[in-house]
Structure 1
Amino acid sequence: MRVFKFGGASVKDAQGVKNVVNVLNETGHENTFLVVSAMGKMTNAMEEVVKAYFTDKTVLSDHLSEVENYHEAILQELFPNPNHHVFYRVRLLFEEVKGFLTWNKSPNYSFVYDQVVGYGELLSTTIVSAYLKEVGIENHWLDIRELIKTDDNYRDGTVNWTRTELLIKGAVEPNKLYITQGFLGSDANNFTTTLGREGSDYTAAIVAYCLKANSVTIWKDVPGVLNADPRYFKETALLNNISYREAIELAFYGASVIHPKTLQPLQRKEIPLQVKSFLHPKNKGTTVGKGIGIEPKIPCFIVKKNQVLMKLSSLDFSFIVEDSISGLFKLLHDNQMKVDLIQNSAISFSVCIDNKFNRLEDLKKKLSGKFKVVCQEHVALYTIRHFDDKSIETLKSEKQILLEQRGIETIQFVVKE
C-alpha cells in the first residue's frame, strides 16, 4: 500500500482535480490510499465562518455563501450534468454545517472550530471521489473521523494509536484505491477533532504507520524539499535526499514543506517519505529516509515571520537562574507561546516567540511584576542549517540583526522586518 497526500494547492480548482487523475494515471492507483486536504484556501474560509459565528452573526451567511459558491463553481466545471448525485451530497454537507451552527449551545471556540472547519476536507474528498468515478477510476470514500481516534483536545487532538491502528486495518483491503480526509479525527463521543494546522501530512503518516505502507508521497506545487522558501529567497536548490533526523531538524526550525509531527511515525517503521511535484509526477523529487544524510549538503535557509522578541531583565539585578527560568517557561506554556529561540545572561533573558494566539498582552502583564519587559514585535527569525561564511554574510548584508545565536551546524538571527 502507498499513501498519497494532496494538499489544498493541488485541488484548488477543477483543473487541479483533473490533474489528480493525471497523477494517478502516471503512477497507477491500485493499493493506494489518498489523503486530501480542503480545496485551496477553504480552511481559512471556514475559519472565517467560525469567527463570524462568535463575533458577528450578521455576516455569517455571507461567509457560508462564499464557501458554497467556491465549491459550486468547481462542481459545475467538473460535472456538466446538474443532476449528478454529487450536487446532492455536497448540499447535504452544507446543511449539516448550518444545522450545527443553529443548534449548537457550546461556547467553546475550539470545539465549534473542529465541528465546522473540518467540512472543508469532507467537501473536497466528496468532490474528488465523485470525479474519479466519473472518469472511470473506481475508489472507496472513507470518513477518517471513524478511523482516527483522539482525545478531546480540540484543535490539537492526540492520537489513540492502538484504537486507530485497529480501525484503519479493519477498513482497508488490498488492491483497491481509497480516498479520505486529512486533518481530522474524532473523540470518544464521536465529535470531530482536528490534528493541528497542516495536519493532513500527519494524517498520511498515521495511515501509513497503521498499514505498514511502502511509502508516503506528498504532492506539492514545488519540485520537492528546497533549501529555502522561494517566496523569500531568490536562489533555491532541490534537496535530493534527507535523513529522518535532518528532516526533523528542518521541521523543528520551521521548514514549511514537512509537518513536524509527520516524520515521527514514519521513522518508527522506516517508511520513506517522498515530496514530489504534482505538475511533474515522473520527476524524482525529494526522498526522506533512513541514514541518507542530506544531499547536496548546502546551506538551508528557514524563515519565520511575524515573531516577537522579548527581553526580560531582573528589576533588582538578581541572577536569572533555574527557579526563575522554570517559572518563565511555565508562563510561556500557559499563555500558548511557541518558543523558537532563547538566550540568557546573568540578569537578562531573551526569547523569540510566536504569538499566534494573541496572548502577548496578558503575558506581559504577568511578567511586569518581576521583570523589566521590552518587546519588539514584527521581527523575523532566520535559521541557516549547515551554514558557511558566504550564507552568513549574505544575510547580514541585507538585514538588521537584533540577536544572533550560533551552534555547530545551525545559526539563527532575529532580524528587524
Structure 2
Amino acid sequence: MRIFKFGGASVKDADAIKNVVNVLQEVGYSDTLVVVSAMGKITNAMEKVVESYFNDKDSIAGTIQEIIDYHNEIVSDLFQNPNHPVYTNVKVLIDEVKGFLAWNKSPKYGFVYDQVVCYGELLSTTIVSAYLNEVGISNTWLDVRTMIKTDSNHRDAQVNWERSQQEVVSKVDVSKLYITQGFLGSDENNFTTTLGREGSDYSAAILAYCLNAESVTIWKDVPGVLNADPRNFEDAQLLDKISYREAIELAFYGASVIHPKTLQPLQRKEIPLKVKSFIRPTDNGTTVGKGNGIEPKIPCFIVKKNQVLLKLSSLDFSFIVEDNISEIFKLFSDHRLKVDLIQNSAISFSVCLDNKFRGLQPLLEELKRKFKVVCHEDVSLYTIRHFNDSAVKSLQNGKSVLVEQRGRETVQLVVK
C-alpha cells in the first residue's frame, strides 16, 4: 500500500482540491491511503479560537464564523447541489466545536487546544472525501483518532506503537482508497491528542509503518527537498537523493520540509519517503532512503526564527559542571523548552531554546535564583550542513553573531 500526504497548501481552496483529483488521476490511487492536513491556514484560525477561549471569550463567535465562511465557500464552489450531505456534515462538525467550548470544564490549555484544533483536519478530510466520491473516485473516510493511539501528553503526544498497529491493521483494507487526517491521535480515554505542529508527515509515517507500506509520498508546492527554504534564501536547489541519516540530521536542525519524527519509523522498515510537487506530479522530486549523504553534495541552509538565547554564569564564579547542567536541563524539560544548541565554558553556559510551549518566563524566575542570566529573545538560529567558507560568509554578512559553533559537517550561528 502507498501512503500519500497532502498538506494545507494543497487543499487551501476549491481549485487546489480539484488539483488533488488531477494528481490522483495522473499517478494512480489504487491501494492508497491519503492523509490530509487542515485547509490553508485553518490550523492558525483554530489556534485563535483557543486563544480567545482563554483570553477573550467575546471574540470566539467572530473567529468561528470566519472558519465557517471559509469552508462554506469551498463547499459551495465544489458542490452544485445545495442539498448535498456534505453541507450537513460540515455543520455538524462546527456544532461540535461550539458544543465543546460551551460544556468544557478543563482549565488545561493543551487539552482544550487538542479538542478544538483537531477540527481543522476533520473538516478538510470530510470535504475532500465527499468531493472525490462526487467525481467518481470512490473512497472511504477514516477517523485517524480510532487508529493512532497515544499517551495524554497534549500537543506533543507519544505514540503507543503496539496499540496503533493493532487498530490500523483491523480498520484498513489494503485494496481500497482511504482518506484520513494527519496530526491527530487519541489517548486511552478517547480524548483527541495531537502529534506536534506540522505533525501530518509523522502521521503518514506512522500509518506506513503499521501497514508495511511500499512508500510514503509527501505532496508539496515545491519540487522536492531543497537545500534551503526559498522563502528565506535565494537560489535554492533541489536535492535528488537524501539518506535517512542525512534527512534525520536536517530535520533535527529544523528543516521545515520534513517533520523531525517522520524519518524514524520509515528507517526502521526501510520504507522510502518521496517528496514531490503537486504542481508537477510526474517529476521525480526527492527520494529519501538507504544510501550515503545527499546528491548533489552542496551546503544546506536551515533557519529557525523566534528563538531564545540564554547565557548563564555562576554567581560566585564557580564552575558550571555536571550537577549544575543536570539541574538546568531538568528545568528545560519541566518547562517544555526544546534545546537547539549548547555551548559551555568553565563558568558560563549558553543555550538556544525554542519557546513554543511558553515556558520561558517561569523558567527565568527559577534560573535567576542560582545563576546570572542574560536572555536574548527573538534571535535566529542558522544551521549549515556541509558548509564551506562562502556559505558561512553569506550568513554573517550584516548580522550580529551572538554564538558560533562548528563541527566537521555543520556550523551553527545564533544571530540577532
TM-score by length of 1: 0.98
Contact between 1:97 and 1:116, CA under 8 Å: does it hold in 2? yes
2:146 aligned partner: 146
Tell me how far 1:292 sits from its aligned partner: 4.2
**SS of 1:106 mapped into structure 2:** coil
Tell me how far 1:293 sits from its aligned partner: 2.4
Contact between 1:243 and 1:288, CA under 8 Å: does it hold in 2? yes
1:351 aligned partner: 351
Tell me how far 1:391 sits from its aligned partner: 0.7
Q: Equivalents in 2 of 1:167, 1:380: separation in Å?
A: 41
Q: Deviations over 1:5-40 (max 9, x none)?
A: 000010000011000000000001100100000000
Q: Does 1:365 pair with 2:329?
A: no
TM-score by length of 2: 0.98
2:335 aligned partner: 335
Q: Equivalents in 1 of 2:393, 2:292: separation in Å?
A: 29
Tell me how far 1:299 sits from its aligned partner: 0.3
Instruction: Judge which range, 363-372 or 300-309, deviates more.
Output: 363-372
Code of the aligned partner of 1:394: S
Q: Equivalents in 2 of 1:109, 1:48: separation in Å?
A: 12
Tell me how far 1:67 sits from its aligned partner: 0.5
Code of the aligned partner of 1:38: A
1:313 aligned partner: 313
1:60 aligned partner: 60
1:256 aligned partner: 256
Q: Equivalents in 1 of 2:217, 2:176: separation in Å?
A: 17
1:268 aligned partner: 268
Q: Equivalents in 1 of 2:151, 2:280: separation in Å?
A: 39
2:191 aligned partner: 191
Tell me how far 1:399 sits from its aligned partner: 2.1
Q: Equivalents in 1 of 2:103, 2:308: separation in Å?
A: 39
Q: Does 1:182 pair with 2:182?
A: yes
Tell me how far 1:359 sits from its aligned partner: 2.5
Q: Equivalents in 1 of 2:357, 2:162: separation in Å?
A: 32
Q: Equivalents in 1 of 2:256, 2:25: separation in Å?
A: 28
1:113 aligned partner: 113
Contact between 1:273 and 1:289, CA under 8 Å: does it hold in 2? yes
Q: Deviations over 1:164-196 (max 9, x none)?
A: 111111111132111000111111111111111
Contact between 1:148 and 1:185, CA under 8 Å: does it hold in 2? yes
1:410 aligned partner: 410
Contact between 1:241 and 1:292, CA under 8 Å: does it hold in 2? no
Alignment of 1:224-239 (within 5 A): 224-239=224-239
Code of the aligned partner of 2:231: R
Contact between 1:251 and 1:258, CA under 8 Å: does it hold in 2? yes
Q: Deviations over 1:58-108 (max 9, x none)?
A: 111111101100000000100111111110111111111111111111112
**SS of 1:412 mapped into structure 2:** strand
Q: Equivalents in 2 of 1:97, 1:312: separation in Å?
A: 44
Matched length: 416
Q: Equivalents in 2 of 1:218, 1:292: separation in Å?
A: 21
1:246 aligned partner: 246
**SS of 1:366 mapped into structure 2:** helix
Code of the aligned partner of 1:175: S
Q: Equivalents in 2 of 1:313, 1:233: separation in Å?
A: 35
Q: Equivalents in 1 of 2:154, 2:332: separation in Å?
A: 20
Contact between 1:156 and 1:194, CA under 8 Å: does it hold in 2? yes
Instruction: Judge which range, 267-276 or 42-51, deviates more.
Output: 42-51
**SS of 1:50 mapped into structure 2:** helix
Q: Equivalents in 1 of 2:274, 2:303: separation in Å?
A: 23
Q: Equivalents in 1 of 2:324, 2:174: separation in Å?
A: 56
Q: Equivalents in 2 of 1:164, 1:365: separation in Å?
A: 40
**SS of 1:405 mapped into structure 2:** strand
**SS of 1:43 mapped into structure 2:** helix
2:393 aligned partner: 393
Contact between 1:343 and 1:351, CA under 8 Å: does it hold in 2? yes
Gaps spanning 5+ residues in structure 1: where? none
Q: Equivalents in 1 of 2:308, 2:187: separation in Å?
A: 34
Q: Deviations over 1:362-409 (max 9, x none)?
A: 222211122111111111111000001111122222422111100000
Contact between 1:183 and 1:195, CA under 8 Å: does it hold in 2? yes
When residues 228 and 412 of structure 1 are mapped into structure 2, their CA distance, relative to the original with a 3 A threshold, is: same
Q: Equivalents in 2 of 1:66, 1:297: separation in Å?
A: 46
Instruction: Judge which range, 151-160 or 261-270, deviates more.
Output: 151-160
Supply the RMSD in Å over aligned alpha carbons: 1.0
